[in-house]
Amino acid sequence: MPFHIHSPFQPAGDQPEAIARLAQRLREGARHQVLLGVTGSGKTFTAAHVIAELQRPTLVISPNKVLAAQLYAEFKSFFPKNAVEFFISYYDYYQPEAYVPSTDTYIEKDSAINDRIDRLRLKCTSSLLSRRDVIVVASVSCIYNIGSPENYRGSSIPLEKGYRTTRTRLAEDLVRIHYERNETEFLRGRFRLKGAIVDIFPAYMETALRVELEDDAVSAITEFNPLTGDRIRKLEREWIYPAKHFITPGPQLEQAVIAIAAEMKDRVAFFKKKGQLLEAQRLEQRTKYDIEMLQQMGFCHGIENYSRHLSSRPAGERPFCLMDFFPQDYLLFVDESHVSIPQINGMYEGDRSRKQTLVDFGFRLPSALDNRPLKFAEFEALAGQTVYVSATPGPYELKKTKGEVVEQVIRPTGLVDPEVLVVPSEGQIEDLMQRIEGRVKRQERTLVTTLTKRTAEDLARFLSERGLRVRYLHSDIESLERIEILKDLRAGKFDVLVGINLLREGLDLPEVSLVAILGADHEGFLRSETTLIQIAGRAARNVGSEVVLYADQRTGSMQRALAEMDRRRQKQVAHNERHGIKPRTIVKAVSELEEFQTSAKRQGLEILRRTEAPLSAREIPGLARELESRMREAADNLDFELAAVLRDQWLELREMSAMGSKNPSAAAPRRKRRSRQTND
């Protein structure tokens, strides 16, 4: 089925030209392009039109789960008839396996897999192998190892009318690709037998299949509702793909077991030669257990650590990842590329250092090092024709395109970038107060950003003492509370928000008409060209917006940022004058934007409040179970910020339960963030 956009809107502003230029250059074979689109210019809408013009499978990479979920929803609305898929880490929480030599502490891998996201991941790969009208929205976890696409495709079962098989043989084939027989509980990834009928619940579908056999052949295939049993439609053919991504054919598995045993033998001999008898015993015991599981079940806990042997790869060769499932002519869009590209670039080294310790102390074989994310050069080699999307493209993207960009500066709404003023720092607080008071009279909001936590605290206290309604945003505030604060700012419960780094891609605050940046002339990350432009963009949703830089000199970053913002503003103003467009502030009800008003969120918040009160030892297990349930529900709803907060509190209660504590506020310090893959 061809890509077809469903939208009541037509491209406007800079969108028509951007779509035409991107599509033309892609047809000409350009490997790299940059879409420089300002906040609110409709970059996703432009990308959707480019995909529809080119009619090619597309991968969209986002820097984290939250933004990926937003993009997924947008693309689903644009392409309701096509396969828009979602591929992110399927862990509700994830504590990776690790070893701390200084304290002789082994941390076993601990995780909870989200069933819905697991289904979406499997649906993603099955769609890629069965059709071309596929858009996959993924987080950067798409560069991690997921097994061989050839093994995945080769192990699938091609059911169609007349397909020769028996009831027993079909059941054996399903078990081989990790489906489980269960006659009482018919869930995803399971099958059941009823005479000459085999019911299969594919791991990647929400509906089930009924396969009828007659004379050792398939006579009918029917799709049905697994809950009600109602028939949906008759099918001529259907491929059954494996229930797990790591799949190894029988002969290849036998060879893998031999290779794993040989590597274990060599490594145990290495440890014994060095006198490391504990490490030798540990490695031998763990590996033999895994080998036995592989031989008996075709699977073991931590099977991904043996993926090099299971896919018959030589040492050091890159692992297979989601990008291998795409055809050669696929398109790649890297969203917020100034964040995503550095993330991808740094993932290999962080993973390597943790695993090296496990190898050195006999917890894993050296081949486990090849279960890893892609190196950046490997990512580049696998990438299709790429469009980097950002309001502030980074040096990598600009180098790849030799500074050439496709601009999307004109907004369909006619809104222009805010006016930027540079004001001396002497008397800056009095000047700032006057500007804030003017905004308060107009019922508008203000963002103030400082350089240090101490300065932000002092400024918030001072402004509060002078009668202004002020809140302070800092790094210790959890994700959920951060959203609550931003919602209260929009709702007018206070007028001024002070923080150190209020920059956040995708932050939409139409009520903010003043952004004040203190210490704008302090060269560094918090006052770089990119950061200044991104912070200024937080005021770009209001027609009367203004950005004030308090500085005594103009640094190189300031000069570049000012020149770029002025250039964009002049272009926008000229366009409006030429077409008689009068810009107006975007008006959006807070409830329309803030999904935190849903019933599920209110229930989640209520549970969190209950954990703040003293608890008896008997209450903790029940509350922990309720927290876990709400955590999974939030993740199912793709609300990863709430899920992360609930997860942290749930883990804290589990620790308290283990310690026998009776008061979380007294006995359980605030959990420090572990290196979990929850917002990848």
Residue 505 has pLDDT above 60, yes or no: no
Burial class (CB in 10 A: 0-12, 13-18, 19+), 126: buried
The pLDDT tens digits for 620-666 are 777 777 777 777 767 666 666 677 777 777 777 777 766 654 444 44
Looking at residue 619, what is its pLDDT? 74
pLDDT in tens, 135-145: 999 999 899 99
Environment class of residue 629 by beta-carbon count within 10 Å: exposed (0-12), middle (13-18) or buried (19+)? middle
Residue 627: both structure tokens together: 């927290």
Mean pLDDT of the chain: 86
CATH class of 15-149+316-333+344-390: alpha beta
Examine domains 15-149+316-333+344-390 and 157-240 and report if their fold is the same: no
Pinpoint the alpha helices (H) of 197-306: 250-273, 277-297
Mean pLDDT, residues 592-597 taken together: 37
In whole angstroms, give the CA distance from residue 134 to residue 137. 10
The CB density around residue 507, as the number of other CB atoms within 10 Å, is 16
Mean pLDDT of the region 15-39: 96
For 64, the token pair is 């984290």
**Which one, of 121, 109, 142, lies nearest residue 675 by Cα?**
109
Using CA atoms, how far residue 274 sits from 266, 267, 277, 359, 498, in Å, is 13, 11, 8, 15, 58
Cβ pair 8, 373 in contact under 8 A: no
* Domain ranges across the chain: 15-149+316-333+344-390, 157-240, 257-301, 419-579, 592-667
Residue with tokens 């570049």: 560
Q: Against a cut of 0.95, is the pTM above it?
A: no
- Give tens-digit pLDDT for 449-502: 998 888 888 999 999 999 999 998 876 666 556 767 888 898 899 999 998 876
Place of tokens 């809950």: 227
Architecture per CATH, domain 419-579, reads as 3-Layer(aba) Sandwich (3.40)
Tell me the residue type at 552: D
How far apart are alpha carbons 250 and 234 in whole angstroms? 33
pLDDT tens for 395-446 read 999 999 999 999 999 988 889 999 999 999 999 999 999 999 999 999 999 9
DSSP per position, 315-374: TTPPPP-GGGGS-TT-EEEEETHHHHHHHHHHHHHHHHHHHHHHHHTTSS-GGGGGSSPP
The tens digit of pLDDT for each residue in 323-342 reads 999 999 999 999 999 999 99
| Token output for 650 | 């749930």
Number of C-beta neighbours around residue 473 at 10 A: 21
* Three-state DSSP state, 467: coil
* Mean pLDDT computed over 548-569: 94
Average pLDDT over every residue of 504-513: 73
Q: What angle do CA 487, 491, 496 make, to 5 degrees?
A: 80
Task: Output the CA–CA distances (angstroms, integers) from residue 192 to 168, 205, 657, in the order listed.
Answer: 12, 16, 39
Cβ atoms of residues 76 and 84 within 8 Å? yes
Class of domain 157-240: alpha beta
Does 394 score more than 70 pLDDT? yes
Give the whole-angstrom CA distance, residue 230 versus residue 217: 24
Which CA distances in Å does 636 have to 89, 118, 543? 13, 11, 37
